[in-house]
Amino acid sequence: MPVVLSAAHVRPLLQARQEGRGRAEASLDLGLTTDQVEIEPQGVLLPDGERLPWPALEEVAANETACFVIENGTPERIQRFSTELNRHYSLMATAGAPTLLISGIPMHRIKGVDPHQDTLLKMRAIAPGSGPVLDTATGLGYTAIEAARTAGHVLTIELDPAVLDIARLNPWSRALFANPRIEQMVGDTFDVVQDLPGAAFSRIIHDPPTFSLAGELYSTACYRQLYRILRHGGRVFHYIGDLESKSGHGVMKGAIRRLQEAGFERVVRRPEAFGLLAYK
């Protein structure tokens, strides 16, 4: 597995050098695990024999929120640009799991909770359940990974392959590509759901980008398709954002109305998860 670092995980190594220590504990995968490494004059010697030179580590430390993959001792910032969608994507470090930035907008909550905790709150909102799950926006795959812990099959849809390129470099996303219960599909969710069979899913996690980036995924037409492919007694968790904020409250009101127009007679606010729960 490649070494992936952020400033927070490099500073202890620089501190160990300054203090003249010969060994230090470090995370080489954005906080998932830790390893003992050797502190040498030329750099840090990893357990597999690779050496990370000090200039490379200092470059990482100088970028507070960026994430870097280390290739042949050289740090490369984890980012992509989609010419098709004219969007810039990057992996942003947090105190826990990293988040995905789309044109500078974080795709997870990062204030008060980290992206992993944000995902757990969404899953608790839609629990319990064990049947097939649809995840309408893969992103870094956190939702699909958590859903697959209880579901026998998870279908997750991602619009842009550039996002999956970033996910492949994110240590927290590894299960997205390793878990056989997760099926990935590349395409526009608005189009893909129209071709899915009716009553195919017991739960749907609908976590689209912001309304300004993907307004069609907040439309009555999209919600009608979600209703059609959801089993009787099933539930949709629809991430909105902070329901108490001015913008979030406005999006929530429109989403509730359109969900009801689509057939969901019961729609419940779940403010702790920044979303709505709709029942069929």
In a domain, 84, yes or no: no
Buried b / exposed e along 153-171 (16+ C-beta atoms within 10 A): bbbbbbbbebbbebbebbb
pLDDT-derived band of residue 280, with 50, 70 and 90 as boundaries?
very high
67 and 136 in a common domain: no
113 and 56 in a common domain: no
Report the pLDDT averaged over residues 164-171: 98
Give me the CATH number covering residue 245. Answer: 3.40.50.150
What pLDDT is attached to residue 133?
98
In a domain, 148, yes or no: yes
Domain boundary among 28, 57, 77: 77
Residue 246 CA, chain-centre distance (Å), reads: 25
What tokens appear for 239 in the block? Answer: 């991430």
In a domain, 47, yes or no: yes
Domain boundary among 57, 77, 97: 77
62 and 165 in a common domain: no
67 and 126 in a common domain: no
In a domain, 86, yes or no: no
Buried b / exposed e along 117-130 (16+ C-beta atoms within 10 A): ebbebbbebbeebe
What tokens appear for 142 in the block? Answer: 């956190």
What pLDDT is attached to residue 214?
84
Amino acid at 214: A
Residue 221 CA, chain-centre distance (Å), reads: 26
Domain boundary among 61, 77, 93: 77
Report the pLDDT averaged over residues 119-145: 95
171 and 44 in a common domain: no
What pLDDT is attached to residue 192?
97
User: d(Cα 199, Cα 177) in Å, to the nearest integer?
Assistant: 26
In a domain, 92, yes or no: no
In a domain, 155, yes or no: yes
Percent of the chain with pLDDT over 90: 86
130 and 72 in a common domain: no
170 and 52 in a common domain: no
Amino acid at 141: G
Which residues constitute the domain of residue 261?
107-279
DSSP assignment letter at 185 = E
66 and 192 in a common domain: no
Residue-wise pLDDT for 210-219, tens only, equals: 888 888 999 9
In a domain, 85, yes or no: no
Residue-wise pLDDT for 77-86, tens only, equals: 999 999 888 9
At residue 207, φ and ψ (nearest 5 deg) are -125, 65
113 and 62 in a common domain: no
Structural domains of the chain, count: 2
180 and 50 in a common domain: no
167 and 227 in a common domain: yes
In a domain, 88, yes or no: no
Report the pLDDT averaged over residues 65-85: 93
122 and 60 in a common domain: no
What pLDDT is attached to residue 96?
93
